[in-house]
Amino acid sequence: MRSASSRGASKEDMGMAYMASLFATEAAQRVGIEEEEDTTRELFMPDYNLLVMNMVRAQLAVVNDRQQYLNDAFKALRAHGIQLGSGQDPNAAIEMLRLQVQAEMQKQVDDVRVENGTLRGLLEEKKTELEEKTAEMQGLRDKVNRKLMRFEVESESLKAEVQSALQTSQLDVDRMKRDLGHRIDVASASFRTPKYDTALRSMQDMVRTVQEEIQEHHDKLTKLIVSIGAQDTFLREKSDSMHSNFPTRYRDELREARQ
């Protein structure tokens, strides 16, 4: 019996010792974990503090923005004559402000629409006026172009007429000089002879013929000058005779032929 009792007591002692060992191990592990937590906390504390500061700053910025929004809202309310009394719902006041601002903006839009309508009417009037002026200018341009074309045709025709008249109305001065010179020579040779009178009459007839030919040439040129409207340039003095408007060169040559 004693041996059995001794064995039971020994087992109990061994169990107590084992439990004590477990408690000691657990306590040691707990102390190690706490020390590790303290070390880790100290290691991350600067970053933690910085993170907390940034979070606080962000929250302060949000609070400041909300405060500024409220201040602006209160200023807008006062500016529009809306007083926020004690116990009044701010949302209702803000809704009133929104409706009032919306009404003002709608009025501005309506004013702009009316002004745009007026400007559109003026624009249409100016557009119509511009179209009329454009059509008028086009009509004038067409009229001028037709006149220019007609003037070009008439100018070419007149040019051809003048060239033809000048070519067909040339005086043969050399022939006149030769004929007059010959008859003067004949009259001079027959001076104081019976043939002198005949030679003198022949010379006088020749002079009349030359004068008539020159007068005819003068009339043709005068008619041509009048037809082209150049009388102010070439016919400064009205005359029915060749003596005032006949070219000086022709008169000088005929005068030399008579001498």
Tens digit of each residue's pLDDT (9 = 90 or more) over 156-197: 777 777 677 666 666 667 777 787 777 777 777 776 677 777
Identify the weakest region by mean pLDDT among 61-75, 189-203, 204-218: 189-203
| All structural domains of the chain with their residue ranges | 18-81, 92-169
Question: Which residues touch 243 (CB under 8 Å, ≥6 apart)?
Answer: 251
**Mean pLDDT over residues 234-239, rounded?**
51
Give buried/exposed letters for 171-180 (b at 16+ CB in 10 A, else e).
beeeebbebb
H or E element in which residue 19 lies: helix 2-79
- At which residue do the structure tokens 């503090």 appear? 49
CA angle 222, 227, 228 (to 5 degrees): 105
Tens digit of each residue's pLDDT (9 = 90 or more) over 86-141: 566 667 766 777 787 788 888 888 888 888 888 888 888 888 888 888 888 888 88
- At which residue do the structure tokens 């033809």 appear? 164
Tens digit of each residue's pLDDT (9 = 90 or more) over 32-70: 777 777 777 777 777 777 887 888 888 888 888 878 877
Angle between helices 90-168 and 195-227 (to 10 degrees): 170
Q: What is the pLDDT of residue 243?
A: 46
**Mean pLDDT over residues 16-22, rounded?**
72
CB neighbour class for 151 (10 Å; exposed up to 12, middle 13-18, buried from 19): exposed
